[in-house]
Amino acid sequence: MKYVYVKDSPEKFSVNSIFCVGRNYIEHAAELNNPVPKSPLIFLKPSSSIIYDRESIELPAVSREVHHEVEVLVLIGREGKNIAREDAIAHIAGYGVGIDVTARDIQQQAKEKSHPWTIAKGFDTFAPVSRFVDPAQIPDPANISFELFINGSLRQKGNTREMIFPIPELISYLSTIFTLSPGDIIFTGTPQGVGKLHPGDELHAVLGEKMTTLSVSVRSPQSCQ
């Protein structure tokens, strides 16, 4: 069982579903030569892909092109179905920062065959997550900045105001398909600047003015034998 935590709170949430949003930033869609979606593009990750601060992403032997995608995370704290957009924020238990790790070569092969992306997105260690921040500390979810540094260099920088589908709309849309439950996590999409990971890389993701952070390393399969 995987758990996530809200900072300065005794409460912990057992992870339920992990919903991910693809192509939610125009410039990221452009950098991968993908069309901009007309409705949210949703895929899932297994809870077994979660790792935490100070742990390591393991590069699978079957991929030669594993990419980083830093994202704002939303933790659901209240069950809901067919949630109105104006009520969506009340269902949030916390905001965090995470990395949607992607085996890009495997994803591309799947796309060419019109197959799902599950394998490319779902390896163990492919969902690093931070501790979450109480929503009361985020006055405007439409203005959350976030960054990713690799080996001390800035690689990705974004703000939720640049989203094609903002957070309330994502929650409302998802709830028309799935009953959202406490412990669900939404990866809300990545800005431009994705790139390849290498063994020994040190990643440091930041939400807002260091409201919460996430640091993970990268290792090859051989290094953990």
Q: Which pLDDT belongs to residue 223? A: 47
pLDDT tens digit sequence for 37-79 = 899 999 999 999 999 999 999 999 999 999 999 999 999 999 9
How many residues would you count in the chain?
A: 225
Q: Which pLDDT belongs to residue 222? A: 61
User: Which residue range is the domain that position 47 belongs to?
Assistant: 3-224
Look at the alpha carbons of 44, 58, 108, 34 in this order and tell me if their dihedral is positive or negative. Answer: positive
Cα(51)–Cα(3) distance, rounded to whole angstroms? 10
Q: Which two tokens stand for residue 52?
A: 């935490």
Cα(110)–Cα(54) distance, rounded to whole angstroms? 31
Q: Which pLDDT belongs to residue 174? A: 98
Global pTM? 0.95
Q: Which pLDDT belongs to residue 29? A: 67
Q: Which residues of 148-163 are buried (b: 16+ CB within 10 A; e: fewer)?
A: bbbeeeebbebbbebb
Q: Tell me which residues of the chain have a pLDDT lower than 50.
A: 223-225
Count how many domains the chain has: 1
The CATH number for 206's domain is 3.90.850.10
- Short-list 34, 7, 58, CA closest to 221: 58
Cα(195)–Cα(186) distance, rounded to whole angstroms? 22
